Amino acid sequence: MKSVILALPGNEQLAAGLAAKLQTEVGRMTVRRFPDGESYVRIETPVDGRNIVLACGLHDPDTMILALLFAASTARELGAARVGLVAPYLAYMRQDKRFNEGESITSVHFAKLISRYVDWLVTVDPHLHRRTSLDDIYSVPSIVVHAAPLLAQWIRAHVDSPVLIGPDSESEQWVSEVARGANAPWLVLEKIRRGDRDVSVSIPDLGALRGRTPVLVDDIISTARTMIAASRHLAGHGIAQPVCVGVHAVFAGDAHAELLAAGAGRVVTANTIPHSSNAIDVSGPLAEAMRNLLAMRPAVPASESAP
């Protein structure tokens, strides 16, 4: 059965790249805002009986979510066999615990919402901090693409004598994997975050950096306070400007410019969120993950299975 990829606004390039890799069609869908701010969605390509893939990065989730849910439920109403979601950046993964009384654990609520509207999900390195798997909160099948091998490949090709630096102890497993692939030594920072934009770090073993190029590696660069604090810490000890490598270029507000101004030598990200720093292409493994999920047989509801 031929599948159809439908792009939510801003995801046209992602959809075209995936369609080319999967030799499938990009369908026509109009999504726009009415003057009062409500969303208008119209799927123009016939979807009856077809596998539909919605391409929708979720880096601006509150702006995008309603149009995405309307598109998914409309595709189902129009007869789509299955509706999958490719979201290279998956939002609402960081509030995974009630840190203060009364707080909403939004990662769980968001996962429940998405799981009601789509049949499967593909994403890249979701921020699994206190969870071990997306399956803990998403009830639909998912495939997580790991960017670590691609980051390692980029570092091997572009950085002389690198030493990798992870943001905090939780990143140890991930940074060590990138370091193995890049054939480089690594260490992790001691990080204290007091607020959204109040971060301090110290580097336990500055001696390990002498004569090498520091490469700060993180899954998300959001306010960039983590990388800014690390860059300043290095500069304060007379160590070379770091190369900053991130998977998801969230870059809230002026974070990218602030990071460059703080002494980052070069800032490079994967193209999970469109940004001028994108230099690492994840579309190959994303397409591969989609191929696997598109080939999967839909689960037979218990009521329809043989006795």
Footprint of ligand R5P on 276-295 (CB under 6 A)? none
Q: Which is nearer to ligand R5P, 118 or 148 (CB)?
A: 148
Q: Which is nearer to ligand R5P, 119 or 218 (CB)?
A: 218
Closest separation in Å from C-beta 96 to ligand R5P: 10
Distances 287 to 16, 48, 86, 259, 283 between C-alpha atoms, Å: 11, 23, 9, 32, 6
Q: Is 125 in the site for ligand R5P (CB under 6 A)?
A: no
Closest separation in Å from C-beta 280 to ligand R5P: 17
Among 123, 125, 183, 176, residue whose Cα is nearest residue 153: 183
Angle among Cα 298, 304, 307 to the nearest 5 degrees reads 120
The DSSP element (H or E) to which 280 belongs, if any, is strand 278-280
Selected binder of ligand R5P within 11, 213, 222, 231 (CB under 6 A)? 222
Binding segment for ligand R5P (CB under 6 A), chosen from 37-45, 95-103, 222-230, 286-294, is 222-230
Q: Is 51 in the site for ligand R5P (CB under 6 A)?
A: no
Angle subtended by helix axes 106-117 and 61-77, to nearest 10: 30
In angstroms and rounded to an integer, the radius of gyration of the C-alpha atoms of the chain is 21
Selected binder of ligand R5P within 50, 59, 82, 225 (CB under 6 A)? 225
The DSSP element (H or E) to which 33 belongs, if any, is strand 29-33
**Residues in contact with ligand R5P, shown as a per-residue x/- string from 132 to 171 under the rule CB under 6 A:** -----------------------------------x---x
Within the chain, residue ranges assigned H as helices are: 12-22, 61-77, 106-117, 148-158, 172-182, 225-236, 255-261, 283-295
Angle among Cα 188, 165, 205 to the nearest 5 degrees reads 60
Selected binder of ligand R5P within 155, 220, 286, 290 (CB under 6 A)? 220
Nearest-angstrom CA–CA distance, 292 and 51: 13
Binding segment for ligand R5P (CB under 6 A), chosen from 11-19, 82-90, 214-222, 288-296, is 214-222
Closest separation in Å from C-beta 21 to ligand R5P: 29
Closest separation in Å from C-beta 224 to ligand R5P: 5
Angle among Cα 46, 49, 53 to the nearest 5 degrees reads 70
Closest separation in Å from C-beta 269 to ligand R5P: 12
Q: Which is nearer to ligand R5P, 171 or 231 (CB)?
A: 171
Residue 99 CA to its chain's centroid (Å) = 23
Residues that bind ligand R5P (CB under 6 A): 129, 167, 171, 199, 218-226
